[in-house]
Structures are given as structure tokens and as C-alpha cells.
Structure 1
Amino acid sequence: MELDFDMEKLISRINELANKKKREGLRPEELEEQQMLRQEYLEIFRGNFKNQLAHTKIQTPDGKLHPLKYMPMQ
């Protein structure tokens, strides 16, 4: 549950900076903060997505469950 709260705060701050950028522009340190927050968000999002895929199983017509296998892009 703590992760969700941190993610909410992270998204809230990203949105604050995006709105300020549209209204009046951002100072250089705010642009840097915005970029760091976006990177942090993407890392968390990708980690959660990979975790979800790691726990996903496919059910075949015969009723057996098979885990998804990682197949890198070619």
C-alpha cells in the first residue's frame, strides 16, 4: 500500500510541474526535477508491469496453466 501512496505523490508532483510548465514555464531546476520524476515513474511502472507478467499464466484448452515466457525482441 505504501508504494501506491508514493506513486500517487509522484504523479501528483509530475502533474503539478506539467501544469505550471503550460501556464508560466519552469525554472531550470524544476525542469531537472520533472525529468527525474518522470524517470522514477517509468522505473516503477516498468517494474510493476514486469512483476505482473511474471505472475501471469496462460490456460490452455485442456485446462493446464503455463507461465508466460520472456522472449526478447529480435
Structure 2
Amino acid sequence: MINILPRINELAYKSRTAGLTQAEQVEQQVLREDYLREIRGQIENTVTNLTVIDPVGEDVTPVKLRIKRADIQ
């Protein structure tokens, strides 16, 4: 679990109920950007490590993905 998620949720709740100060709004935006960066990194890592196999059993992984995987390794 991403460790900033509880704070993001806390600020979201406060935003809906009492409102946020200017500093809290800035903090919320920074935390959301960090969260999205983390999620995108996880998705990119997952996709990069995929291998696509057709019904016959042959590797049909897209060339772009193979190149990206080779660059990382």
C-alpha cells in the first residue's frame, strides 16, 4: 500500500466537510501528484514485464515492449 494514501484520504474528507487551508490545498495537490506517479510506475513495471502468447503458444509480444524491456535490463 502506498504510505501517503491515508493522508490523501484525510485531506479529501476535510475538504468535503470543513474545507482546506491554502497550505493544505497545496499539500493535497503534491500528494496526489506523488500518488499518481507511484501508480503509473507500478503499471509501467507490470506492462514492461508482460509476455504476450497467442493461442498457438508463440510469443507475440509487441516490438516496442521488447525494446523497452531490453533497455531496462
Shift in Å at residue 66 of structure 1?
3.5
TM-score, normalised to structure 1, is 0.77
Structure 2: gaps (5+ residues): 66-73
TM-score, normalised to structure 2, is 0.78
- Root-mean-square deviation over aligned CA pairs: 1.7
36, 42, 54: which one pairs with 2:36? 42
2:22 paired with 1:28: yes
1:1-74 → structure 2 map (5 Å cutoff): 4=1, 7=2, 9-70=3-64
Q: Where is the strand percentage greater, Structure 1 or Structure 2?
A: 1
- Counting aligned pairs with the same residue, the percent is 34
Residues 70 and 42 from structure 1, CA distance in 2 versus in 1: closer, same or farther, beyond 3 angstroms? farther
Amino acid at match of 1:46: R
